[in-house]
Amino acid sequence: MDRDKNVTASFYLQPPNPPSNLSATAVSQTQINLSWSDNSNNEDGFKIYRNGSYLTSVGANVTSYQNTKLYCGASYSYYVKAYNAGGESDSSNTASATTHICPPTAPSNLSATAVSQTQINLSWSDNSNNEDGFKVYRNGSYLASVGANVTSYQDTGLSCGTSYSYFVKAYNAGGESSSSNTTSATTYACPPTAPNPPSNLSATAVSQTQINLSWSDNANNEDGFKVYRNGSYLASVGANVSSYQDTGLSCGTIYSYLSQFKNSPIGGPLR
């Protein structure tokens, strides 16, 4: 036997054992986290496949991966293979997950119409098919919610003559949509407040046919004053006027006069 002859041998590197216990967990609208068990001691890394196509690789002994930038409300399936110079292992089990639901599309065409001194009616267009309902905001703060497919709301108990602004958002388990357009309306004007009654009415006969009246004006919002004689309406004078000359009377006759609000008779015979 030739002792100087070189003998060489080659050895075939076995592919690693396949990983197992692959799990896929959706953690947001755009991310699914993967984890698996490493069953080999000779892998160079792991190859991750998504929906049947190669996605990416991670290094040896790594047993997790965060798949980001996904579509909301979409289902994805995964399997993982270990690999080395000898090739790829068999596939792990297949695991699937669905990213969190997409928020609904924002409503539009919001309108606000005042219908009384205390009520404004809202209406809008529903542009989504996956909302759980709509949230109504007034003057920037949450006001109320209505159910899915509802496109109107009656805002009551408001203050008269006051402007209010509104926007609406659709919502579901995925969150709120962006805002609708913002719109405003002003409730009907407040009813006028009755003026304070006049006082200190006096009646002075100045001739056989005339009595002069005077009174104190206690209001700052009157349109005028009504004069009553012997219980019947006689005449009106303008705002801030505090006297009246009643002429064409009969001599030697008693006349009584009333302020509009006080109903206090005052008068005397003509002299």
Reported as a single tens digit per residue, the pLDDT across 114-143 is 999 999 999 999 999 999 999 999 999 999
Q: How far apart are CA 36 and CA 58, in angstroms?
A: 12
Provide mean pLDDT across the span 137-164.
98
Residue 20 amino acid letter: S
pLDDT in tens, 21-56: 999 999 999 999 999 999 999 999 999 999 999 999
Q: How far apart are CA 112 and CA 185, in angstroms?
A: 6
Residues 261, 237, single domain; the answer is yes
Token pair of 60 as six digits: 């040896």
Q: Does 148 map to a domain?
A: yes
What distances in angstroms separate CA 255 from CA 30, 231, 261, one per listed residue? 91, 10, 18
pLDDT at res. 194: 83
pLDDT in tens, 227-269: 999 989 999 999 999 999 989 999 989 999 886 653 333 333 3
Of the candidates 110, 106, 47, the residue with the CA atom closest to the CA atom of residue 79: 47
Would the CA dihedral through 251, 252, 253, 254 be positive or negative? positive
263 contact partners, CB below 8 Å, separation of at least 6: none
Tell me: pLDDT of 11 over 70: no
Residues 138, 162, single domain; the answer is yes
Cβ distance 135 to 176 under 8 Å? yes
Q: Does 80 map to a domain?
A: yes
Tell me: pLDDT of 107 over 80: yes
Range of the domain at 32: 20-98
Whole-structure pTM over 0.85, yes or no?
A: no
Provide mean pLDDT across the span 162-168.
98
245 contact partners, CB below 8 Å, separation of at least 6: 210, 211, 212, 213
Of the candidates 124, 193, 196, 197, the residue with the CA atom closest to the CA atom of residue 161: 193
pLDDT at res. 8: 47
Q: Does 14 map to a domain?
A: no
Residues 114, 92, single domain; the answer is no
Would you give the distance in Å from CA 170 to the centre of its chain?
9
Provide mean pLDDT across the span 3-13.
56
138, 158, 186 - which closes a domain: 186
51, 78, 98 - which closes a domain: 98
Q: Is 245 exposed, middle or buried (0-12, 13-18, 19+ CB in 10 A)?
A: exposed
Assign residue 244 the CATH number of its domain: 2.60.40.10
Residue 267 amino acid letter: G
Q: How many domains does the chain have?
A: 3
Residues 45, 94, single domain; the answer is yes
162, 186, 210 - which closes a domain: 186
Provide the percentage of residues in the chain whose pLDDT is more than 70: 91
- Look at the block and give the residue holding tokens 């905001």: 137
pLDDT at res. 222: 84
Provide mean pLDDT across the span 69-88.
96
Q: Does 238 map to a domain?
A: yes
Return the higher-pLDDT residue of 30 and 6: 30
Provide mean pLDDT across the span 72-86.
96
Residues 168, 222, single domain; the answer is no
Secondary structure tally for the chain: helices H, strands E = 0, 23
Q: Does 222 map to a domain?
A: yes
Residues 89, 112, single domain; the answer is no
Residue 28 DSSP label: S
Q: Does 247 map to a domain?
A: yes
